Chain A
Amino acid sequence: MVTTSSQPTDAAEIASASAANNPNPIAKEDSMIEVDDVSFSYDMGKTNVLKNISFNIPAGKVTALIGPSGCGKSTLLRCLNRMNDLVDTSKVTTGQIRIMGQDINASDVDPIELRKQVGMVFQKYNPFPKSIYDNVAYGLRIQGIKNKSKLNEAVEKSLQRAALWSEVKDRLNSSALGLSGGQQQRLCIARTIAVNPRIVLMDEPCSALDPIATARIEELIAELQEEFTIVIVTHNMQQATRVSDRTAFFYLGELIEYNDTATIFANPSVRHTEDYVSGRFG
């Protein structure tokens, strides 16, 4: 079925084709995150890993980022909470990222304060080698909260919201590393939402889990979207259709198409998107 002629080889070509038809732009007022012409480089601007990305992420919805491996999904996600600051030579070369209207790369923005509002769940579950309780309480403790009953309450609430409470309530003081993989990932979600962020970023949160554990996380995401704006990177097309409201397709560092998830999968306007979502490459 695959013909070489139908495979666009140049991402820029594809992008220019798509730029014209963005049929469902999010109104500025409804968007939580505005990505405005962002280019990003890991080597002080020599080569750009992200190229002139522009799109708005709506509040209170789940937005999925999809695309073949290496296209820059994780990079974009880590731009949103400035985790890329850890790479000394990294740099946003053009454009702005605004969260709730505020340019997050402005000189007066403290990345620590930003990260309290923009939480992150990683690809490989990474609870601290501490007790379950201490893991969930960690974010609050580093904010200086010592009050025991306040912590207890927050820990219980977060574990409940992460649908983990009933499974661990009797062993809060045992090591988090004794939990199963899926439980550990849900614990990481509990840990993230314990500090009450506005946004939760998830980078392929199920890629290390079995199908049952994956299903539980997906359910959880559906519940959490009522309270949080969620941005999720996923490799799994079905997952994107199951959990997300909107989907952005990336290819070689460029945003190819962005639309309602249903539209992207049922009726993509760019040929390349169609090839990808139907599994013809990637």
Chain B
Amino acid sequence: MATHFKRKGKRVLGVGRQDAIRFFFGGNAMISTFVLGAICIFLAREAAMFFPQHQRELEVFRLTGQEYTNFVIEEMDEYTEVKSLTNQAFYQEMNEAYGIQRGLVDSFGALSGNLFDDGEDLIEELEDARDAVDDADEEEAKTLAQTELDGIQAKWDNFLQAELGKADRTAVDSFGRLGKKEWQELLDAMTAWDPVEDQPPALVEAAKSEMNKGMAAFDAARMLIGSAGSELSKLRGELIKVTTAIKDEAVADKSSAARKKALLEGSVNAATKEDRARLKEQAEKITIRKNFPYAERITALEGSREKHKAAIAALEADLKPGIAALPTDLASAQAQDLVSRIREKGPELIAYLDQSLQESADWRYDQPVSWITSVTSFFFGKDWVTNSSFHDFYGLLPLFTGSLLISIIALIVAIPFSLGAAIYVNRLAGPKQQNIIKPIIELIGAIPSVVLGFFGIIVLGEALREISQVPWLSWVPGFPMQERLNILNAGLLLALMAVPTIFTLCEDAINNVPSSFTEASLALGGSKLQTVMRVVVPTAVSGILAAILLGFGRVIGETMVVLLVAGNQIAIPDFGLGVGVITQPAHTMTGIIAQEMGEVTSGTIHYRALFSVGLVLFTISLLINISARRIIKRFGLAA
């Protein structure tokens, strides 16, 4: 009877078909697990090596005095911001209050410039002819020269007439500051313009003096603010030079042993005798030190502290009266805004300068750098600067903020759309609409992200900018937008990418709400909408939350779109603009890896810094996925 129960089918090397199939799938699963593990280990290893290396870099940063220099650099940066705000306010005001005057002055400049270019030869002839008349002693020669001059003068007059006749108003007055009337007046006045004397017409002179007089007070304040930092700026330049030199020397010193060895080897193997001698001589010149004498080098910074103190004092001494002297009643609302921002920023700047001065006074070149600094200055560093001649900074914050802002915008836009569509499709639409809407939304997910990015650059960016320039929308924070590629643009595109994910999962969650709840609500006299809002959505909320989290994971990991559309400016966006911050460009964690990974040498600190960013991203994604799973498990009812 045993034959009844024998295995059927052929066996190769003792392995049956069922076993083979089992091994195949089991093997696949094992390989996936293995690959994931390998990726984790690799990422973690490279990233882990970053921190000690970073610590050493920071040590050098301190020992060479570059860290001290950086105090001055940052002080200058803060001050420069106020300075540039002042300049912006000044020109805004000038354009608003003296637009016509400025138009006249600039248009005259442009017109005369064109005339000088096009009538170069004629003007020279004219000049020569006049000189000839002046130089002629005799009566006869004088009349002769005069007739010649008259001829040339007539020729010039004709030329001038013709040139003015065909002058292009939109090209000359490119900002459109002049009305038709002013333009005509300027042209009329120009007919009497003499290129040799090159005196502006009275009209232009008057405009100029009116403008200068009106703006005099503002200009004086601006000058005061603008020149306040000149000493600090000088100190900055000096310090950068000195400390960079120390660093270069220290870096060279570090490689001295290796260089010497190479030269000596070369000297043995070189072809000619002279070469051998030369290489040997060079090798001998290199001294190998056990420790680079930082203490000795840092003396170059002596006196800087005093200078620094004096520079800050000088800056504050000019800045305060400068800001106080800024005019209050301005014609331009934008200038008014800027001035009030300067007034707010002024005291902040001074407080910052005082604090920075204090900190720099406490700074010591030989204080050890702890590993905690290495970690915190990565996670909370405000700068990501690479390939700099001064010092490279690896601060995550600008990239993290960029990624976060873009993702938040994407979610804010995507959530209502996806949830609304999910509710509509699952509970309100007929089967026909369902069959159309669902595949369409799911198809959005099939658009390659590079295509979306392209769309963002060409279409969305342009459209957003045009919209932002509509005058009656100027109250919207951040409008008009300066940049076409910015956080908002990238966020909107990522929203599009998040919609299919969130929609599908939300729809699942809603679909899983037991119909007995719906029936109970309807039987109590609830309308369809009430039932959805009060029973279905609250019941599905855990599933919806998980959907949103997974959507978040989707957008924060997206690379191509942000690389193309976010504007790639590595700086923490200016939150001083409020919500308007989203119209600024930014860079992201994914974007930076994609952009810089191809160019770095493996094993360098830059390379490892990028891996550390990668690890942060990986951790975020992992946490998001784990929490989504947790939510689903914990409130499993509808997910």
Contact = CB atoms under 8 A, between A and B. Distances in A.
Interface of A: 81, 83, 86, 112-113, 115-116, 119-120, 122, 124, 126-130, 138-139, 141-143, 188, 191-192, 195
Given A83-B522, A115-B525, 12 more contacts: A81-B523, A112-B527, A115-B524, A122-B520, A127-B520, A128-B521, A130-B538, A142-B521, A142-B525, A142-B527, A142-B534, A191-B520
Contact of A126 (B520, B525, B538, B637): B520
B516 interface: yes
B517 interface: yes
Nearest to A114: B525
Contact of B524 (A86, A124, A195): A195
A61 B552 CA distance: 58
B525 A83 contact: no
B251 to A, nearest CB: 66
A86 B518 CA distance: 10
A191 B519 CA distance: 13
Contacts of A120: 523
A124 B516 CA distance: 8
B325 interface: no
B637 A83 contact: no
B559 interface: no
Interface residues of B, number: 18
A207 to B, nearest CB: 14
Contacts of B530: 142
Centre residue among B526, B538, B539 by max chain A CB count within 10 A: B526
Contacts of A113: 525
A119 B538 CA distance: 23
Contacts of A143: 525
B276 to A, nearest CB: 89
Contacts of B413: none
Contacts of A191: 520, 524
B571 interface: no
B539 A86 contact: no
A123 to B, nearest CB: 9
B617 interface: no
Nearest to B430: A88
A189 B534 CA distance: 20
B535 interface: yes
B519 A128 contact: no
Contacts of B538: 129-130
A127 B514 CA distance: 11
A126 B515 CA distance: 10
A192 B514 CA distance: 19
A205 to B, nearest CB: 13
Interface of B: 514, 516-517, 519-527, 530, 534-535, 538-539, 637
B517 A115 contact: no
Given A86-B519, A128-B520, A139 B539 contact: no
B425 to A, nearest CB: 16
Nearest to B637: A129
Given A128-B539, A129-B539, A129-B637, A116 B519 contact: no
Contact of A86 (B514, B520, B522): B522
A129 B517 CA distance: 9
B165 to A, nearest CB: 77
A188 B520 contact: yes
B535 A195 contact: no
A82 B499 CA distance: 37
A88 B485 CA distance: 50
Contacts of A195: 524-525
A139 B535 contact: no
Contacts of B519: 83, 86, 122, 126
B534 A115 contact: no
Contacts of B535: 128
A115 B527 contact: no
22 contacts: A83-B522, A86-B522, A112-B525, A115-B524, A116-B524, A119-B524, A126-B514, A126-B517, A126-B520, A128-B539, A129-B538, A138-B526, A139-B525, A139-B526, A141-B534, A142-B521, A142-B524, A142-B525, A142-B527, A142-B534, A143-B525, A195-B524
Contact of B516 (A126, A141, A142, A192): A126
A83 B516 CA distance: 12
Contacts of B516: 122, 124, 126
A192 B539 CA distance: 20
B516 to A, nearest CB: 4
B539 A112 contact: no
Contact of B526 (A119, A127, A142, A188): A142
A203 to B, nearest CB: 10
B520 A112 contact: no
Question: Which 3 A-B residue pairings sit nearest by Cβ, starting from the closest?
Answer: A116-B525, A126-B516, A139-B524
A216 to B, nearest CB: 21
A195 B516 CA distance: 19
Contacts of B539: 128-129
B613 to A, nearest CB: 42
Contacts of A122: 516, 519-520, 523
Nearest to B638: A129
Contacts of B637: 129
A195 B520 CA distance: 13
Contacts of A128: 517, 520-521, 535, 539
A228 B524 CA distance: 16
A111 to B, nearest CB: 8
B520 A115 contact: no
Contacts of A83: 519, 522-523
